[in-house]
Amino acid sequence: MKARQYYVFLAVGVVLIALATVFLTKKASAHGDESQFVVASSMLSGLGTGAVFPFIDTTPQTISQAHIAITDATTDCSPGSAPPTNVKVLVGQAGMSLVPVMGASTNTGISTTPGQCVFHVTIHAGQGGVPSTVTDIVVLNAGSSPLSGVNTVTVSATVRVDGSASNGQPHSQGVSESAGR
């Protein structure tokens, strides 16, 4: 029972952080541009080995920036020391180009439970190796077993709704080749 309360507390905390990020982002970007803010959070329990979870899909609109937080196991939960062990987050356009964005540098060092660590990253379309067209944020279980209750994902994203839609390429089937890297 105590473990369940911890997971609920952790999930509520992650959602509150995401909402604070959205509020601050909205305040900072109030330049009259047409954008919408999307916030989503999910427990990843049961996501099978090698399975993908299309967590955010804004097609045909594009994501200009997003803040992504996950919880996962790692070899060392010290700031910047090790990447997530099981959860891989891919961003881009499904069927076109999806790139991984969680590495050792995203390790915050935040952990209150052995075997669980918090990772954060903020992405901007077209910067830092992120494709210029981002319509999808995908979670991949890169581990050797199904994910458990310690694995979560939270995303807050700025979605352009001002007519700057993606390049018109519809999603094709499957995960792009870059997802396995």
Q: Is the pTM of this model over 0.95?
A: no
Q: What whole-number distance in Å separates Cα of residue 72 and Cα of residue 115?
A: 8
Across all residues in the chain, what is the average pLDDT?
Answer: 82
Q: What is the pLDDT of residue 114?
A: 79
For residue range 127-159, list pLDDT tens digits in order. 999 999 999 999 999 999 999 988 999 999 999
pLDDT exceeds 60 at position 171: no
Band of residue 10 on the pLDDT scale cut at 50, 70, 90? low
User: Is pLDDT larger for residue 53 or for residue 24?
Assistant: 53
Q: Are 101 and 77 in contact (CB under 8 A)?
A: no
Q: Are 166 and 62 in contact (CB under 8 A)?
A: yes
In the 8-state DSSP scheme, what is residue 77?
-
Q: Which residues lie closer than 8 Å to 165 by C-beta, 6 or more apart?
A: 60, 61, 62
All domains in the chain, ordered by first residue: 2-169 (2.60.120)
Q: What is the pLDDT of residue 125?
A: 97
Q: Are 94 and 57 in contact (CB under 8 A)?
A: yes
For residue range 87-143, list pLDDT tens digits in order. 999 999 999 999 999 999 999 999 988 778 999 999 999 999 999 999 999 999 999
Q: What is the pLDDT of residue 92?
A: 97
Q: What is the pLDDT of residue 150?
A: 85
Q: What whole-number distance in Å separates Cα of residue 14 and Cα of residue 31?
A: 28
